Structure 1
Amino acid sequence: MTNEPGWVRHAIWWHAYPLGFVGAYPATVAGTPPTPDEHRLLRMVGWFDHVIATGASGIALGPVFASESHGYDTIDHLQIDPRLGTDDDFDELVAQAHRRGLRVLLDGVFNHVGRSSQIARRSVEAAQGRSQDEVWLRRAEGGGPTDFVGFEGHDALVTLDHEHPSVVDYVARVMNHWLDRGADGWRLDAAYAVPTTFWAQVLPRVRAEHPDAWIVAEVIHGDYAGFVTASGVDSLTQYELWKAIWSSIEDANLWELAWSLTRHDEFLETFVPLTFVGNHDVTRIASTITDPRHLAHALVVLFTVGGTPSVYAGDELGYTGVKEERAGGDDAIRPEFGDPGSAPDERGARILRLHQDLIGLRRRHPWLHRARTTQVELTNTRFVYESVDGDEGTDHAIAVALNLGDDGFAVPAGEVLLASGGAGAGEVEPHGWTIVAR
């Protein structure tokens, strides 16, 4: 089991994409990008009380460092993006978050950089001259001296040479720099594309200075446990469970979810994954699950199985948005947020209340962080499972009943903690759900 910081046991993240959140990308006025003196990053602080009201305990930020466009084409890892504001604005955001008891997670893009970055420019100059040691980018096999490897077909991005000792030094320095300024951890973007040997060199240097930092890697598929063990990260993104949650509910095939939870339990023997039903890269859960009666089922699973849960900003208010595979295809899922004081409509208020109830249950039962699941009853449209404390010598347990069908069935034995039909209901109502203490 990874030796993650103790505070993570209680962590529930509210994940936001800052450039979109504050209207800095795409630019709201064509040709007039925001300037540092607008201090747009501080707009996020106005939402922190809302985050507290949901029950979340941390802010997981998307890219905030200087970049060419969308944030994942970094040009300076040691400067806050001028479209967001200044380094002082970052310090104020962290101070305001910590004052409220909120942790802050940063998004580090260390697989590649933008072509206009100082690293890229210096590498081009070095490759054309004699200072080959200053080339920090990976060359394409069989290419010329400045034919550098792009990232997944994106020509504007060039891949770092992760075997270069100076790149190891640089990334460790960047991570420690922002942890020194108050960040509590890092999400490692596209970590799956980086050799695990690189992370195994970088992370001990980070932990030597910041042993309480939490490091989570973006990994889509593959040998999750093997990646964690070889790289030294604390956690990674549980995309397998994300896919199983929405597709098993949308297709009324709960066998898929049951199988994924079996896999999920295996991962929990090695590490606690970052779990989610939405993030800045995928269609919003309220658009993915087309039957509004079943949106709650996805959230029930998220908050009743092992993991470190994350809520994508706006999902708790019922935001919709479809990701499209085209230029600008992420814009709909990364919108600008307005005044945090405006009340949600009736639907949004109902979804917010559901999040609050489920997060409240999760906060009252922190043992769910490492819980294992056991199947009790399973059909295409009916799934009852138990979540049991993963620590030996304890007897914490809950039972969760999900019903996607038109017929109700008896509530599992135990005290009803939460239910779609109300705590006094004797059955799991059609298209409903129930959580009971065991």
Structure 2
Amino acid sequence: MNEYAMLHIPDSRYCFPIGEKELVIRFRMAKEDEETKVFLIYACKYNFQEKQESAVMHVGYSDRIYNYYEIKLQLEDVRLAYIFRIEQNGKVYYFSEDGITDTYNFKEGFYNFFQMPYINKNDLLPTVDWMKDAIFYQIFVDRFFMEDIKKDCSYINMKWNDKPFAKGFAGGDLKGIIRKLDYIKELGITALYLTPIFLSVSNHKYDIINYMQVDPQFGTEEDLKELVRLAHRKGIRVVLDAVFNHCSMETEQFQDVLAKGRESEYYDWFLIDGDYPDTEKINYECFASCNYMPKLNTANKQVQEFLIRIAVYWIKEYEIDGWRLDVSDEISHEFWRTFRKAVKETKPEAVIIGENWHDAYPYLMGDQYDSIMNYAFTKACLDYFARENFDAEQMAWKLNANLMRNLEQVNRMMLNLLDSHDTHRFFTEVGKNKDKLLAALALEIIFIGAACIYYGTEICLEGGYDPDSRRCFDWEERSWDAGLMEKVKELTGLRKRPEIAQGDIRVTAQGKMLLVERGIPGKKLRLLINMTEEAQTEHMEDGGFVKLLCGNRARFEAPAAVTVEQRGFAVIGMED
């Protein structure tokens, strides 16, 4: 037995409450020990010496190296003590704070059992419920649709269908989004994520001059209010982009420091090495190496108050539904803790989504973000669908490993995406193969967490890296693939099913097909993806009612089998 692979950490992603009296416990073991039986031995910590209960743990997730055993406990007494009993080849072992042992002294268990001392209600990470079945639509505002022809258009320097360039302006605006709300609704979208909309000199607006003013290129504050009001009427949430790591060098605060140096009241709002900031030598910290985007000193209390006031203002006055946090991993944990309290006190159901490209567990323990943009999911999809680096089993391992990074509540709120304004277009990455695109969208939509479709994916918009990934939406419907669009709508229509909204997830490989199962008692939804060059057939042996709900290059074969052709997928509904 490989004891080096064994891992359990109390009060962590291996032990966490999902309700006031409900607890998830995980235990990691090596895959080579997969025949092992694992039991949770538990009791109230004050009674553990006298009497314990036992429950079987099952493998919930597997990656390339490990099996993760999991159990959900409904507790009467939330002062829990527990250890693990391991049975292998007729021998019994115990795993406690002392590690693996042949015996265990229950009478002295108070020295070395694991514990969840108490489930305090205010330590729970509540799930933003609308995120569980949300389908986001990310819009790069300048490139989506231009409706306001009466605005000052002198800034526009590219034709709508021109290939974008770094300093190109196409004219998209908030009224354009309002105009297309019916289209967005029909696509099955339930939430919008807009790239920054505040006053800026750039087309992307990530160098903000005034956080309290909508950029006139995009419209007015009233346009934003109208967009939110009409979107809400259609059941669509609106999430804005918070650029709090840095600002524009044109902000009044940085300009004051440029003029006055250390004498400026805003000097400590920035991180400067010297009496004055030098924009040529760049003796101040900034985003990447961009001298025009000085980094804000978020350890400064005045800066914290300034930014939190902005966040709360747009929620209170314009009823937005949350914030996506730009470059969030370069800002202190302390700031995000303060930020979260202010946002959640203002609107508990407002979502907080960080832009962390890597494992963000330290930010996702319940006191900072709700979730992140799930670029680990993006990378896995590129490796499976585009690069073909993974077979079905390897893809299942990777997805499971990613899931094990976080608490269950976080996984249910993750923003899963195939691409964004910061990546190559996924359709281009898969070699403009529409079957691969549809299969990847099926995975994104069935997977646990929120799905995020980058504007234009549904019409097979192409693009390389920034700025090419920010092309204008082609509104000439004759150029659309109507069949593909209908498949996308079929998929988005599945998101409201209870198997997705409330269901657990299981990811495995079934032969050469990737299998993702979402389920609640009595109902299952099963996604099969075949990325091989040959047709694959899956026989449903679970019994009960079986139906093909959606698919591409797939067919149902009586009595209960589904054949998926190369590059195809099938979504199967199953009821007991």
Q: TM-score if structure 2 supplies the norm length?
A: 0.67
Structure with greater contact order relative to length (CA < 8 Å, sep ≥ 6): 1
Q: Report % sequence identity.
A: 23
Instruction: Name the residue aligned to 2:525.
Output: 398
Q: Is the 8 A contact 2:550 2:572 kept in 1?
A: yes
Instruction: Name the residue aligned to 1:337.
Output: 473
In 2: Cα distance, 1:351 partner to 1:430 partner: 17
> Which runs of no fewer than 5 residues in structure 1 stay unpaired?
324-328
Is 1:216 aligned with 2:353?
yes
Q: Describe the SS at the equivalent of 1:435.
A: strand
Comparing 185-194 and 89-98, the one that deviates more: 89-98
Q: Select the structure of larger CA radius of gyration.
A: 2
Instruction: Name the residue aligned to 1:86.
Output: 220
Deviation of 1:297 (Å): 1.5
**Structure 1 residues 61 and 39: CA distance shift in structure 2, 3 A:** closer
Deviation of 1:182 (Å): 1.8
In 2: Cα distance, 1:356 partner to 1:431 partner: 19
Deviation of 1:123 (Å): 3.3
Q: Is the 8 A contact 1:126 1:135 kept in 2?
A: no
Deviation of 1:411 (Å): 2.7
Counterpart amino acid of residue 572 in structure 2: V
Instruction: Name the residue aligned to 2:416.
Output: 275
Instruction: Name the residue aligned to 1:410.
Output: 537
Q: Within 5 A, what are the aligned runs for 1:29-178?
A: 40-69=173-202, 70-129=204-263, 131=264, 135-140=268-273, 143-146=274-277, 147-178=283-314
Counterpart amino acid of residue 293 in structure 1: D
Instruction: Name the residue aligned to 1:27.
Output: 156
Q: Describe the SS at the equivalent of 1:373.
A: strand
Deviations 1:165-215 (A, max 9, x none): 011111111011111212111101110111121111122112212222111
Q: Is the 8 A contact 1:200 1:230 kept in 2?
A: no
Counterpart amino acid of residue 112 in structure 1: H
Comparing 103-112 and 199-208, the one that deviates more: 199-208
**Structure 1 residues 311 and 214: CA distance shift in structure 2, 3 A:** same
Counterpart amino acid of residue 91 in structure 1: K
Counterpart amino acid of residue 334 in structure 2: T
Instruction: Name the residue aligned to 2:510.
Output: 377
Number of residue pairs aligned between Structure 1 and Structure 2: 416
Superposed structure 1 runs of 4+ greater than 4 Å apart? 22-26, 32-35, 131-134
**Structure 1 residues 338 and 305: CA distance shift in structure 2, 3 A:** closer
In 2: Cα distance, 1:29 partner to 1:16 partner: 19
Q: Describe the SS at the equivalent of 1:156.
A: coil
Deviation of 1:415 (Å): 2.5
Comparing 192-201 and 248-257, the one that deviates more: 248-257
Deviation of 1:265 (Å): 2.6
Q: Which has the higher helix share?
A: 1
> Which runs of no fewer than 5 residues in structure 2 stay unpaired?
1-17, 19-124, 147-152, 160-166, 278-282, 541-545
Deviation of 1:368 (Å): 4.7
In 1: Cα distance, 2:373 partner to 2:427 partner: 20
Q: Is the 8 A contact 1:13 1:310 kept in 2?
A: yes
Deviation of 1:236 (Å): 0.7
Deviations 1:335-371 (A, max 9, x none): 23365xx42435x222211210111112224635663
**Structure 1 residues 231 and 410: CA distance shift in structure 2, 3 A:** same
**Structure 1 residues 244 and 77: CA distance shift in structure 2, 3 A:** same
Q: TM-score if structure 1 supplies the norm length?
A: 0.87
What CA RMSD, in Å, does the superposition of the two structures yield over aligned residues? 2.7
In 2: Cα distance, 1:372 partner to 1:33 partner: 43
Q: Is the 8 A contact 2:377 2:399 kept in 1?
A: yes
Deviation of 1:81 (Å): 0.7
Q: Within 5 A, what are the aligned runs for 1:252-401?
A: 252=388, 253-254=390-391, 255-266=393-404, 267-271=406-410, 272-290=413-431, 291-323=433-465, 329-330=466-467, 332-337=468-473, 339=475, 342-345=476-479, 348-365=481-498, 367-368=500-501, 371-379=504-512, 382-389=513-520, 394-401=521-528
State which of 308, 321, 324 in structure 2 corresponds to 1:184.
321
Q: Which has the higher strand share?
A: 2
In 1: Cα distance, 2:145 partner to 2:255 partner: 30
State which of 120, 136, 140 in structure 2 corresponds to 1:13.
136
Q: Is the 8 A contact 1:11 1:308 kept in 2?
A: yes
Comparing 284-293 and 69-78, the one that deviates more: 284-293
**Structure 1 residues 370 and 138: CA distance shift in structure 2, 3 A:** farther
